[in-house]
Amino acid sequence: MTIKFLFSFISIFTLAVSPLLGQTTRPFDPTNAREGEKVEYCHQHIKMAELMKNPEFAAMYEQDKIAFEKAKNKAVPKGVVYKIPIVFHVLHNNGIENISDEQIYNALEILNRDFRKLNADTATVQSDFVGMPSDVEVEFVLATKAPNGTCFKGITRTMSPLSYQGADGNAQVTAIINGNDVFQNNWPGNKYLNVFICGEIGGAAGYTTNPSTWSASSMTNGIWILHDYVGAIGTGSTGASRALTHEVGHWLNLDHTWGSNNNPGNTSSCSTDDNVDDTPNCIGVTACLLSANTCNSVNAYWNYDVRDNVENYMDYSYCSKMYTPGQTARMRAALQVSNTGRFNIWQSANLTATGATGDIFLCKAAFDADRTTICQNDSIQLNDDSYNEANGWTWEITPSTGWSFAPGSAATSQNPKIYFANAGLYTVKLTATDGTTTDDEVKNNYIRVLPDAASLPYWEGFEAYSSLANLTNWEVYNPNNNNAWTIENTTSHSGSQCAKLVNFGQTPSNIDELTSAPIDLSVIPSTGAVTLSFRYAYRKKIAADYEYLKVFVSADCGANWAQRKTLAGNNLSNLTSSTSWKPTQNSDWTTVHMINVTSNYFSENFKMKFRFEGEGGNNIYLDDINLYAGAPSDNLVLGIDGLSDFQDIQLYPNPTEGDVHIRYNAMKNEKLTVVITDITGKTVSTSQVTSKEGSNLIIVPTDVFSSGTYFVKLGNNSKALKFVVK
610 contact partners, CB below 8 Å, separation of at least 6: 513, 514, 515, 534, 549, 550, 551, 622
Greater confidence (481 vs 442) lies with: 442
DSSP-based three-state secondary structure for 175: helix
pLDDT, one tens digit per residue, over 162-186 is: 999 888 889 999 999 999 999 999 9
Res 521: pLDDT = 93
Res 92: pLDDT = 94
pLDDT band at 18 (very low <50, low <70, confident <90, very high): very low
Greater confidence (530 vs 45) lies with: 530
pLDDT, one tens digit per residue, over 599-653 is: 999 999 999 999 999 998 999 999 999 999 888 877 665 544 433 455 567 777 8
Q: Is residue 56 pLDDT above 70, yes or no?
A: no
pLDDT band at 686 (very low <50, low <70, confident <90, very high): confident
Q: Is residue 702 pLDDT above 90, yes or no?
A: no
Rounded Cα–Cα distance for residues 418 and 415 (Å): 10
Q: Is residue 486 pLDDT above 80, yes or no?
A: yes
pLDDT, one tens digit per residue, over 523-570 is: 898 888 999 999 999 999 999 999 999 999 999 999 899 999 999 999
Angle at 277 between CA 271 and CA 279, to 5 degrees: 75
- The 3-state secondary structure of 517-582 reads CCECCCCCCCCCCEEEEEEEEECECCCCCCCEEEEEEECCCCCCCEEEEEEEHHHCCCCECCCCCC
| Residue ranges of domains in the chain, CATH in brackets | 44-353 (3.40.390.10), 362-449 (2.60.40.10), 458-638 (2.60.120.260), 644-725 (2.60.40.3080)
Q: Is residue 371 pLDDT above 60, yes or no?
A: yes
pLDDT, one tens digit per residue, over 67-120 is: 556 666 565 667 899 999 999 999 998 889 999 999 999 999 999 999 999 999
Residue 439's CB: how many other CB atoms inside 10 A? Answer: 17
Rounded Cα–Cα distance for residues 58 and 726 (Å): 86
Q: Is residue 369 pLDDT above 90, yes or no?
A: yes
Indicate the DSSP class of residue 326.
Answer: H
Q: Is residue 493 pLDDT above 60, yes or no?
A: yes
Cα-only R_g, the chain: 32
Rounded Cα–Cα distance for residues 634 and 597 (Å): 18
What element of type H or E holds 69?
helix 55-73
Contact 418, 382 (CB under 8 A): yes
Angle at 304 between CA 302 and CA 305, to 5 degrees: 110
93 contact partners, CB below 8 Å, separation of at least 6: 159, 160, 161, 163, 164, 199, 509
pLDDT, one tens digit per residue, over 446-480 is: 999 988 888 888 889 998 888 898 777 899 999 88
- For the chain, what percent of residues have pLDDT higher than 70? 86
Q: Is residue 124 pLDDT above 60, yes or no?
A: yes
Contact 129, 267 (CB under 8 A): no
Dihedral, CA atoms, 473, 95, 372, 429, nearest 10 degrees?
-130
pLDDT, one tens digit per residue, over 563-595 is: 999 999 999 999 999 999 999 998 999 999 999
Res 664: pLDDT = 75
Greater confidence (684 vs 692) lies with: 684
List residues with catalytic annotation. 247
What element of type H or E holds 636?
none
Rounded Cα–Cα distance for residues 511 and 217 (Å): 37
Q: Is residue 33 pLDDT above 80, yes or no?
A: no
Contact 239, 246 (CB under 8 A): no
Mean pLDDT of the chain: 84
Q: Is residue 156 pLDDT above 90, yes or no?
A: yes
pLDDT, one tens digit per residue, over 204-254 is: 889 988 786 555 678 988 999 999 999 999 999 998 999 999 999 999 999
Res 1: pLDDT = 35
pLDDT band at 398 (very low <50, low <70, confident <90, very high): very high
Confidence (pTM): 0.70
Res 338: pLDDT = 78
Q: What is the mean pLDDT of residues 409-416?
A: 97
Res 379: pLDDT = 94
Q: Is residue 715 pLDDT above 90, yes or no?
A: no
CA nearest to 589, candidates 459, 465, 495: 495
Q: Is residue 336 pLDDT above 50, yes or no?
A: yes
Q: Is residue 37 pLDDT above 60, yes or no?
A: no
